[in-house]
Structure 1
Amino acid sequence: MDQKKIIVVGSTNMDMVVKTTHIPVPGETVLGGSFFMNPGGKGANQAVAVARLGGDVTFVSKMGNDVFGKQSFQLLVEEGINTAYIVSDDELPSGVALITVDESGQNSIVVAQGANATLIPEDIKQVLHEIEHCTIVLLQLEIPMATVEFLVEFAAAKETTVILNPAPAAQLSDAMLKHIDIITPNESEASILSGIPVTDIESAKQAALAIQKLGVKTVIITLGPQGALILDQSEFQIVPARVVETVDSTAAGDVFNGGLAVALAEGKSIADAVGFACEAAAFSVTRLGAQSSIPYRNELIANTLAI
């Protein structure tokens, strides 16, 4: 396999997960849940997904100099990820996510950013020479927006493909959107970006058109169990999702983005790359946790999913 380099820049968190019957409403206490900790963070999840699905990945992040940061760093090394550009913050703790997962696999998440919030452009200047020679830069929004904008502009100037997963949902500047090659919102994120509530395939198409008019070349809206909608140039395609029993949807979007980057770096078409990403994401929701749910490529092949 011809591996093309992928650089992921983003967050690292320690996920504290409670699995319970239902997600409590304000003022409600739910008893009887099970608890576990699992390394997470959108950036780290996507980097691990790239590595496990067969990609050559460098990860750029910022962690606290604490037990969570040290543990997360060691696990990334064990995944075979290039960690040379991860920065340690001696003042702030590592990021933490508090996650509640209900019986249907849906989740509710609160994130304390910690050191992720201080990953500034100055911290990533050491990796810029790598971006000049990589195939894809994959970004999310759990780090400062100024850093995301700086990276998008730099990568675009070097004609490096930029994939932005706009999560957590946020308003994005028109100037930055014009430099993004591929954007991958889910329904709620697409609704915020476009101003069009996404409730079905038709409204997703309208939202995708509105986002594309802002300057993004290719829009991919992930639709959960319905798969994904692609708007590439002026052509729509719908890629269905495999029907599976959902145990936990945490990190499914991150697995999708990691799989998308790997497939595109290997030269697959946009439709085939989204198909591969959908298969990987479907596999992930059948298991509990964030990074613990991310499949290896040989698992997809063994389950006759995607190659």
Structure 2
Amino acid sequence: MKIALVGSYGVGLTMRVPRMPEAGETLSGGAFDAGPGGKGSNQAIAAARLGAEVSFLTAVGDDDYGRAAAALWAAESVDASKVVVTREAATMVGIILVEPSGENRIAIAPGALDELDAAAVETFRAEIAAADILVVSMEIPLPAAAAALRIGAEEGTRTLLNPAPAQPLPEEVWPWIDVLTPNQSEAPVLLGLPADHGHTDEELLALLAARSGGSVVLTRGGEGALLSEGGTVTPVAPVRVERVVDTTGAGDSFTAALAVALAEGQSLAAAAHFAAVAGARTVTIAGVIPALPTRADLADETGAAS
């Protein structure tokens, strides 16, 4: 079970606040923590914890944050041998504000990620070709994400695009996507629709499926997910938890678990349910890396390993 992952790494500077500050307001009473993050790295670590053999491509600075990242990937058994290390920019940093409800707001300074280009992705071709599935997230420059998807299509590797943060995609990219995983706010952005587009989730799902010709998993938070595969729409029930602590890594946990289950040959519906269980467990634990589950964690909660 091999997964190739092209995405981001960054350091998350997290502050838990009693509420979100108003414009111009200085709010006291927060609790601060710093730790590794970035959607690509989170997904790589989560997939490795769930039993996959993971190869990861990103770009980091030649700085303490970048060296800490290399140590983390080694400890988590993630192959990071092709990661780009640059002296031209610092490792990505994200500022995260988390409310008591667990909802979060994030601002990002990409830094070294801007050095990740199509040429760097080409050096990762062998890993993409050897993988059962390629996962691409969009905290990296669009040309790099597009190059990864194109190479996946050329090599016959199943591709999964996690379009976060979302932006409209060039027309040539759509046919290279086998599985697309937007949430409700990302779906209209991908389609170039205005905020007041007026479409239902089912209509957005149909538009996305028609554009890519592949499968779509539309995640809907507490409402679960909607799947489109081969013209059939299937709902995935939400997995309830007693208390939401931190939603920060839930989407990455979901994406990784979905990719792992698909790489194992599970159906899209079964894979989405497994992913929902993984995402639900993640929101019950503070922090991102500590919250990413192992296979044993999910077996304990569901009575089965998948």
Partner of 1:94: 91
Query: 1:227 is matched with which residue: 211, 224, 229?
Result: 224
Partner of 1:272: 270
Letter in 2 for 1:114: G
CA contact under 8 A between 2:121 and 2:147: conserved in structure 1? no
Aligned partners of 1:215, 1:304: CA distance in 2, in Å? 33
1:39-118 correspondence to structure 2 within 5 Å:
39-118=36-115
Partner of 1:283: 281
Partner of 1:258: 256
Query: 2:292 is matched with which residue: 291, 294, 297?
Result: 294
Number of aligned residues: 303
User: How far does residue 125 in structure 1 lie from its aligned partner after superposition?
Assistant: 2.2
| Structure 2: unaligned runs, 5 residues or longer | none
The alignment partner of 1:137 has SS state of strand
User: How large is the RMSD of aligned CA atoms in angstroms?
Assistant: 1.6
User: How far does residue 192 in structure 1 lie from its aligned partner after superposition?
Assistant: 1.5
- 1:102-125 Cα offsets, whole Å, 9 max, x none, are 010000000000101110122222
Letter in 1 for 2:276: C
Partner of 1:30: 27
Distance verdict in 2 for CA 1:306–1:113, change over 3 Å:
farther
- 1:1-45 Cα offsets, whole Å, 9 max, x none, are xxx210011110000000011122321222101000111001001
1:100-179 correspondence to structure 2 within 5 Å:
100-179=97-176
Aligned partners of 2:67, 2:22: CA distance in 1, in Å? 34
User: How far does residue 242 in structure 1 lie from its aligned partner after superposition?
Assistant: 1.2
- 1:122-163 Cα offsets, whole Å, 9 max, x none, are 222222122122111100111110111111111112211110
TM-score by length of 2: 0.95
CA contact under 8 A between 1:279 and 1:305: conserved in structure 2? no
Letter in 1 for 2:83: I
CA contact under 8 A between 1:38 and 1:292: conserved in structure 2? no
Partner of 1:206: 203
User: How far does residue 198 in structure 1 lie from its aligned partner after superposition?
Assistant: 9.3
Aligned partners of 2:117, 2:278: CA distance in 1, in Å? 31
Aligned partners of 1:76, 1:127: CA distance in 2, in Å? 17
User: How far does residue 292 in structure 1 lie from its aligned partner after superposition?
Assistant: 2.1
The alignment partner of 2:212 has SS state of coil
| Structure 1: unaligned runs, 5 residues or longer | none
TM-score by length of 1: 0.95
The alignment partner of 2:185 has SS state of helix
Identity of aligned residues (%): 35
Letter in 1 for 2:217: I
Partner of 1:218: 215
